Homo-oligomer: A and B are copies of this chain.
Amino acid sequence: MNRPTVRHARDGFRWDGVDLLRYKDEGAAPFRDVTRQVLFDEVPAGTQWRYFEVAPGGHSTLERHQHTHAVLVLRGRGRVLVGNRVHAIAAHDLVEIEPLAWHQFRADTDEALGFLCLVAADRDRPQLPDDAQFAALRADPVVAAFLQPENP
């Protein structure tokens, strides 16, 4: 390993020696205003520990996959859809995303939402909802209102 033992936090939820990455390639999937930083990769072996930040009004991709997410909110405030339920979340809240649960994170319009997300290093690719799956999600009015702004 060439990483230093300690990598200090900088202002603005950045870290020494940690690159600010795109969340995904543009056009790969719908999302808005999300960045990604990999804090630990293969420490412990088989894991990747990331920090995502969703700018005010932004959102992650609506997706699902077999692999699980363990999430701890580090800053800000927003909402997360998991399965067919919408939850308000704020700093230090824990979110567990089970296999094949549809999920999406949305920052509040006036505040960024930053969260730690732990995954297995070896994991399956996300699935996007097809039209029928999207319609099924939108059948719930609360979910529809959550998805509405960006997924009319």
> Considering only CB atoms, which chain B residue lies closest to A14 in the complex?
B92
Oligomer: number of copies: 2
Of B47, B74, B85, B95, which contacts A118 at CB under 8 A? B47
Binding site for B on A (CB under 8 A): 1, 3-9, 13, 15, 18, 39-40, 43-47, 49, 67-70, 72-74, 80, 82-83, 85, 87, 89-98, 101, 116, 118-120
10 new A-B contacts at CB < 8 Å, known A6-B80, A40-B94, A49-B70:
A5-B98, A5-B101, A7-B93, A8-B90, A9-B91, A18-B94, A43-B70, A44-B70, A74-B92, A118-B118
Q: CB distance B92 to A67 under 8 Å?
A: no
How far, in whole Å, are A72 and B92 apart by their CA atoms in the complex?
13
Q: CB distance B43 to A96 under 8 Å?
A: yes
